[in-house]
Structure 1
C-alpha cells in the first residue's frame, strides 16, 4: 500500500554554507529509502512563515512527516517548534518528540538533568556568574549553549586561567571543563525500553602537533581545506580490547535516551579522560543522516543498509499499531 509522506527540511538561504546545504543530502537519502519501502514522497521546506507552511503541509494530508528540520529562523535552539506545530495540527511525524528536542538542544538544561540522574558530564558555569574562577591546572572550553554542527566551536575556545573574549551575548555561551583525552560518538536507534546502540566511533586526531588542542570543531567537520578536516577521521572497533569502556559508553547513551524519552534516532557525544572516565558532552536528537555522516557510518558498520536504517527509524518513531508503518514490522 502506498502512503504519501512529506520530507520536511528547513528552507536554505540564497547562498547556503556547507553545513546548511548538507540537509539536502539527508533529504536525498531518506527519499530514496522511503520509496524503496513503498511510500510516495513530497519534499517540503519550512521558512519564516511557520503558520502558513504548516497549513500547506496539512492540506497535503500526509500519512506522516519525516522531520529533517535543523534550524528555525537559523537557530538550533528553536528546533522543538516544528514538531510542536505538527502536533498541534495532529500531523504524525518521525523523529524525536518536541519535548526531547527542547531539552537536548539547550545544553545547560540537558547537563543539569544528566547530573541529577548520575550521568557524568563535565563541570560547567556561565561566563557572567559572579565570582567565577578557573583552576590553573585545568583547561576549559567556551561553548555555545544551543548551536549544533560545532558552529562557534574551535580550539581557540580552549583556555586556562583566563576567559577568552565572547563574541555576541554572554548568555549565549557557557564554560565547560575541557576533558583532555579521547572523543567518541555513540549513535542510537529506538525508543525507551527498546534501544539499539550502534558501534561507537572514535574520532582520531592524526598527527596533531604538540600544543594543538584536539577539538572536533567546525573546521574539522566542514572546512575541507583545513588542517583539522584533513587530519581528523572516524574509526570503529578501537575498543575491542576495552570492553568495560565500550559497555560504559553504551550504557550512558541508553540512559540518555531513557532520561529524555527519545524516540527515532539520536547521537551521544563523549570525551574520555586520560584516566579512562567517560563524560557526556551533549545529546543530539535527529542528528545528521547524510550519506557521509557519522550516524550512517555507524549503522553501515553494524551491517544496516540505508533502507534498513530508515525502516528502523520509522518503527521507533510510532506505536506498533500506527497503520502507515505497520507493514514494516
Structure 2
C-alpha cells in the first residue's frame, strides 16, 4: 500500500475483549491488531468494552477506533450505534449491516430476495414440530444459534431423534434457532475489502479440517486444519465464488472488510452462501490476513488499510470523518 503518515490517524482505540461468547477470540484478534498498528507508528491504545464503560470510551477522546470485537455487543450493531452517537469514526460496517449480518436468518432472507444461493432452512422454536422440520429439510441437517459465530452452539444432526438435543444446545444462545439443509462438499471463505462498487474479493481460501470438523477448537487452538490459498479451483468456479462473495457483501451494505463463507456442493460444484462476518477474526489462524498475504499485503499493512477506512456512516450530508 502507499506510504502514509501515522500521525494523520490520530489517537486510535483498538476495541477488543467485550462480553460475548467469543471474548477469548476477540482478545487474540485485538492483541494482534494493536501490536501491528504500533509497529507502524500508530498511536494505538487498547480498550476493552467488556471491562470499561461507554462513558470511559468517550473520555478517551479517540480520533478513530478499530473494532476487533466478535459476536454480540461488538459485531451486532449495538456498539456501532454508540460510536455514531459519540461521533467516533470506526472500522467496518455500519449499524444496519452489522445487525443483519449478525442474524443468520435475516441474512438469508435478504440473500434469497436478491436471488443469491444459500441452503434451504427453517426457523425453530420450542413449539415447532421437529418431525416436520426433518421432513422438509431431510437429514443430515445443521442446527445453529443465528446470533453466534465461531461455530458456537452448532450441531450436525444425522438422526431425527437427535434434533431436540441439538435445538436445546442452540436455544441456550437464542430463542429462535436456525435449522439448515446440510450441504456435502468443500468449505471455502472469501475475504472482501472496501465498499460498494469498490469492494473487492481477496484470494479464496479452502479449509480442510480433520474429519470435516472445523469447530471452535480446530479454528483457534490447533494446527490440524489445512488451508489452501489461493484455493485450487477451476477459473469459472473461482470467478463465480468471488462474484457471489462481493454481491453477498454488498447486499447487506457491508464495508471496510468482511468475510463470506461458502460450501461448494460435491455433486455439481454449486457454491452456497453460508454466512457473512462483518468483524472477521484477526488472529494468527484467521483467514482474512491469510488471504491478504496471498496478495502480498502484510498483516501490518492490512490493519493500517482497514483503520484508514474508519468513518461514521451517517445520512448523506451529515457524514463526519476525522
TM-aligned CA deviation for residue 12 of structure 1: 6.5
**Larger mean Cα displacement after TM superposition, 27-36 or 53-62:** 27-36
Matched with 2:279 is: 286
- TM-score w.r.t. structure 1 length? 0.81
Q: How much has 1:322 moved relative to structure 2?
A: 7.7
Matches within 5 A, 1:238-257: 238-240=231-233, 242-257=234-249
Which aligned pairs between 1:84-95 and structure 2 lie closer than 5 A? 84-95=81-92
CA shift, 1:301, in A, is: 1.6
Q: CA deviation at 1:46?
A: 0.8
The equivalent of 1:211 in structure 2 is none
Q: Is 1:106–2:103 an aligned residue pair?
A: yes
Deviation at 1:218, TM superposition (A): 2.5
2:144 corresponding residue in structure 1: 143
What are structure 2's unaligned runs of at least 5 residues?
Answer: 313-318
- TM-score, normalising length: structure 2: 0.83
CA contact under 8 A between 1:134 and 1:160: conserved in structure 2? no
Distance 2:96 2:195 in 1: 14
Instruction: Provide the aligned length of Structure 1 versus Structure 2.
Output: 299
Matched, 1:70 2:70: yes
Of stretches 260-269 and 55-64 in structure 1, the one that deviates more from structure 2 is 55-64
1:54 counterpart residue number: 54
Aligned partner of 1:271 among 238, 263, 266:
263
| Counterpart among 187, 190, 194 of residue 190 in structure 1 | 194
**What aligned pairs does 1:1-329 form with structure 2 within 5 A after superposition?**
2=7, 3-11=10-18, 20-47=23-50, 53-72=53-72, 79-128=76-125, 129=128, 131-134=132-135, 138-154=139-155, 157-162=156-161, 163-165=163-165, 166-167=167-168, 169=171, 171-205=175-209, 208=211, 214-222=212-220, 224=222, 230=224, 232-240=225-233, 242-274=234-266, 275-318=268-311
Q: CA deviation at 1:45?
A: 0.9
Aligned counterparts of 2:207 and 2:271: Cα–Cα separation in 1: 14
Cα deviations by residue, 1:135-170 (Å, 9 ceiling, x for unpaired): 69643111111111111124xx23255534222538
Structure 1 segments unaligned to the other structure (5+ residues): 209-213, 325-329
Alpha-carbon distance between aligned partners in 2 of 1:200 and 1:238, rounded to the nearest angstrom: 5
Structure 1 residue 100 displacement after superposition: 0.8
Residues 202 and 291, structure 2, Cα contact 8 Å, conserved in 1: yes
Q: How far 1:64 moved relative to its partner?
A: 0.7
Distance 1:322 1:303, change over 3 A: farther
